[in-house]
Amino acid sequence: MPRRLVSVDPAFSLQLKALREQRGLSLRRLGQQVHCSHGYLWDLEVGKKQPSVSVAALLDAVLGGNGELSAMVREVSADNGGHKVTLDAGNTATGHGLEFAPDWRQGIAVAVDLWQEDVQRRNMLRAVGFSATAFMSPAMRWLVSPMDEHPSGDGDRLIGEPDIEMVKRITATYRTLDNQFGGGHVRESVVRFLDGEVAAMLRGRYNASTGQALFSAAAEATQLAGWASYDIGMNGLAQRYMIQALRLAYGAGDRALGAEILAAMSHQAAYLRASSHAVDLARAAGRVAAEAGIMAIEAESAVLEAQGHASGGDEAACAKALDRAERAFDKADRTRAPQWIGYFDESYLAAKFGHCFATLGRGDLAQRFAERSLDMDGRHYARGKQFNLALLATAHAQAGDLEQASAVGMQAVDAAEGLDSMRARDYLGELSDRLGKHVGLPAVRAFAERVRPVLTAV
């Protein structure tokens, strides 16, 4: 079969920018509507990257382009003549990594191929698009299909408990660094670890009990690569890592980790304003968590469901889900929860409540919870503290206290220094957009001047 490439009219970038400006949308706002990072959209507008046919169609629909953008992008066949064709770095049409393999052996092949492609052709994968719908089939497969038999490998290298402990410890170290410094500081290292070490282990020799533990450890590391990719705005690639992490957890029969990965999928979907999918994924996570008997993940799933409802503007459903989250959290024995959910404490829960109320425009309520969220370990969770400061500043702005919003916003900018996190910059960008109309006030003007170099450093 010939490969499919894209041909893009050189005028596409100018037309995209013209349509966006006609609609009065910033790159950030447009990105939220089409579920792409504003950095990727900027690359499209300056001609550094090429869109896929599906991305062009989505931009047409959001910007009211009447098919103008779609007409400028078309698929073309590339007859490879028996030789491998290297896809253009801007092509986003590939669905590689979105499949949930039918058995664990194919699951290894898909995951390993994804890691290798990421290491070797990072620029191409950076541009792949995000579609919340692609999460739904893997989630459904988890819920309705029987678990795999525990995997057992027959390769040359003997894999044992020390190998698995090494994977867990290295993953834990990278997770700590991710929380402290942002996904951009760890993503490439995690991916190279997966490609260089974990892939060889999965292809090694191990019995069923070792295979179960190995797949679980590999799933944790793969999820972290997905989370780090999400944090720096590579949302389509993050989605692929999340799906492969879920497949590996499925192979391990690790229900607790499967629930956590489904919750992470919901988190990403809500952040990208795919509210209905965020709700469905959170409910799936809650169901799997209940089967695993991990009340802390049930609480996390409920609060993520609430966030999905808030993103969709359903205040009543949001309130019900928040009530369930609070009751589940009160019942949770967090001393028995897996170590990778150690971040889920009172401060994290308060932050999620605050985000829900801020999304619903209830700055008065959001402020109260945002203040509680700052009672946290700001050294080990520096990124989380920056998020919570930005949340508090947004709550003050919604409540009409612009001077306090600017003062706390300054703290959020300070906290962003040293972080390589697109989400951190996005939160500051949203706050800047909100305060922008009041730039005549000295406090707001000072904030605008302070935040500008952070936002332009993308």
Q: Enumerate the domain spans of the chain.
A: 1-93, 345-458
Asked if residues 369 and 353 have their Cβ atoms less than 8 Å apart, the reply is yes
- List the structure tokens of 50: 């090429």
User: DSSP of 283-334, one letter per residue?
Assistant: HHHHHHHHHHT-HHHHHHHHHHHHHHHHHTT-HHHHHHHHHHHHHHHHH--G
Asked if residues 91 and 52 have their Cβ atoms less than 8 Å apart, the reply is yes
pLDDT for 95 equals 63
Query: Of 403, 418, 373, 417, which is closest to residue 391 (Cα–Cα)?
Result: 373
User: In 94-171, where do the E strands start and end?
Assistant: 153-154
pLDDT for 88 equals 34
- What 3-state DSSP class applies to 72? coil
Report DSSP state, residue 158.
B
Query: Of 187, 282, 270, which is closest to residue 231 (Cα–Cα)?
Result: 187
pLDDT for 196 equals 94
Cα distance between residue 260 and residue 227, in whole Å = 12
pLDDT for 146 equals 82
pLDDT for 125 equals 64
Give the other-Cβ count within 10 Å of 63's Cβ: 22
The single-letter code of the amino acid at 227 is W
Asked if residues 167 and 311 have their Cβ atoms less than 8 Å apart, the reply is no
User: In 157-283, where do the E strands start and end?
Assistant: 205-206
Give the other-Cβ count within 10 Å of 41's Cβ: 24
Asked if residues 306 and 356 have their Cβ atoms less than 8 Å apart, the reply is yes
429 Cβ contact list (under 8 Å, min separation 6): 26, 28, 38, 455
454 Cβ contact list (under 8 Å, min separation 6): 413, 416, 417, 425, 428
Residue carrying structure tokens 């490998």: 153
pLDDT for 9 equals 79
Asked if residues 59 and 51 have their Cβ atoms less than 8 Å apart, the reply is yes
Asked if residues 73 and 56 have their Cβ atoms less than 8 Å apart, the reply is yes
pLDDT for 80 equals 39
Q: What are the mean pLDDT values of the chain's consecutive 10-residue runs (458 residues total)? A: 60 86 84 73 84 74 74 58 35 66 92 92 69 91 85 94 97 96 96 96 96 97 97 94 97 96 96 93 95 92 96 95 95 81 90 96 95 92 96 96 97 95 94 93 96 84
Report DSSP state, residue 131.
-
Sign of the Cα pseudo-torsion (40, 46, 49, 53, in order): positive
Of the options 1.10.8, 1.20.1440, 3.30.70, 1.25.40, the CATH number for the domain spanning 345-458: 1.25.40
The class that CATH gives domain 1-93 is mainly alpha
pLDDT for 124 equals 62
Cα distance between residue 408 and residue 434, in whole Å = 14
pTM of structure: 0.80
Query: Of 422, 393, 351, 343, which is closest to residue 182 (Cα–Cα)?
Result: 422
76: β partners: 5
